[in-house]
Amino acid sequence: MKYKGILLLIILAGLASCSKSKTVLELAHATQTLEILDINDSLFFSHVTDIEIYKENIYIVDQKIGRIVKSNLALDEASVILETGDGPNEISGLLNVAIHNDLIYCLEFNKSIKIYDLEGNFIRELDHGAGIFSDFDVTDDFIWICGPLIWDSPITKVPLKEGLNFDYFGLRMNDRKRDGRHILKYGKNTVDVSLQLRPFINYYNEGDSLLQSLDLSELDVYKYSKVHMDNNEGLTLVWDATIKGQKLYMLLAYRNIDDQKKWEKILVSDIKDNSIIPSKLIQLKEKGFYVSFEVFQNTDQMILFDALSGSLDVYDY
């Protein structure tokens, strides 16, 4: 009886160990098909913080140079449609943009959100300055944006129409340092992806109630420890995120002791009505330092900005 009890404890310990094992995802390899260092022999890129594909054009936000470049899908014709400036209708700095109903919503860090048409002509300004470095989204009624200074409800709904009010919701953050979130809309649902430290995905329904909270530390690609956190090493970050069709794409970056510059994977998850399920990883080139990307709508291609080479890289996946 004594040995049976010991055997039972060993079995239970084994089961517990298995239950804590990390999910191993399929690893697919993407093929780089294009590297663009300049367009029209004159438009170079310094630090691209956002890429948006809208209709038949690509909108490239270069924070360091301070401009938005509008290109065709082939990346062989482009023009500058918006540059930073000090005028009343100009924007002093560019970080992230969102495009909806033929309007470009530009986040002016800690100041306002300025709205332009697709050629860069000023339309109006919203007095809401969010200090974030992550994505926001726009629907007919609201701008959905991370509000890191609001401790209990980190997602802010900024009204776009008269008669609507500001609203706030979201899962409370456990660490004030984790203030970067990519806010994306999937139909009437909301996807909230953390930017840094311990990545997670929160998924909300139309009524802003939580459907799912997914901790990405359950994936085998995730790297985290207290020592690494203090040294800014071994962290899985989410530099960028986007939704196309029924899939969520996340640009993962992580550093570890053995390879300090291995920033090269896309995490793909399937979006359901009530849940988000990680399905596979896409391997990019190992020497890249990708910080922003976008996925083409009707082809199996994506475009990424490599901060090491200053190039826009196109991949088939």
Q: What is the pLDDT of residues 102-146, one digit of tens each?
A: 999 998 877 889 999 999 999 999 988 676 667 899 999 999 998
Please, which pLDDT band fits residue 187 given cuts at 50, 70 and 90? Answer: very high
Q: For a pLDDT cut of 90, what percent of the chain falls above it? A: 56
- In this prediction, residue 23 carries a pLDDT of 75
- In this prediction, residue 257 carries a pLDDT of 43
**pLDDT tens for each residue of 52-109:** 999 999 999 999 999 999 999 999 999 999 999 988 889 988 888 999 999 999 988 7
The answer to whether position 3 is within a domain reads no
**Token pair belonging to 57:** 């054009």
Mean pLDDT in the chain? 83
Residue from 105, 130, 131, 135 nearest 117 by CA: 105
State yes or no: pLDDT of 184 exceeds 50.
Answer: yes
- pTM for the full model? 0.87
Per-residue CA distances from 192 to 104, 117, 120, 138, 206 (Å): 21, 27, 29, 14, 13
- In this prediction, residue 19 carries a pLDDT of 47
The answer to whether position 8 is within a domain reads no
The answer to whether position 228 is within a domain reads yes
Q: Which residue has the higher pLDDT, 260 or 71?
A: 71
The answer to whether position 300 is within a domain reads yes
**pLDDT tens for each residue of 6-45:** 544 444 444 444 445 667 788 899 999 999 999 988 899 9
The answer to whether position 11 is within a domain reads no
The answer to whether position 268 is within a domain reads yes
Instruction: Kindly write down the DSSP assignment for every residue of the chain, as one continuous string.
Output: -HHHHHHHHHHHHHHHHHHTSPBPPEEEE-EEEEEESEETTTEE-S-EEEEEEETTEEEEEETTTTEEEEEETTSS-EEEEEEB-SSTTSBS----EEEETTEEEEEETTTEEEEEETTS-EEEEES-----SS--EE-SSEEEEE-TT-SS--EEEEE-STT---EEE-PPPS-TT---EEEEEETTEEEEEE-SSS-EEEEE-TTS-EEEEEEGGGBTT----HHHHHTT-S-EEEEEEEEETTEEEEEEEE--SS-TTEEEEEEEEEE-SS-EEEEEEEE--TT-BEEEEEE-SSSSEEEEEETTTTEEEEEE-
Q: Which residue has the higher pLDDT, 242 or 261?
A: 242
Q: For a pLDDT cut of 70, what percent of the chain falls above it? A: 78
Domain residue limits at 266: 22-316
State yes or no: pLDDT of 151 exceeds 60.
Answer: no
Lowest mean pLDDT among 55-69, 113-127, 251-265, 272-286: 251-265
The type of residue at 305 is F
165, 159 contact by CB (below 8 A) = yes
**pLDDT tens for each residue of 297-314:** 989 999 999 998 999 999
The answer to whether position 16 is within a domain reads no
Residue from 298, 307, 282, 294 nearest 240 by CA: 294
What's 84's domain CATH number? 2.120.10.30
Please, which pLDDT band fits residue 176 given cuts at 50, 70 and 90? Answer: very low
Structural domains of the chain, count: 1
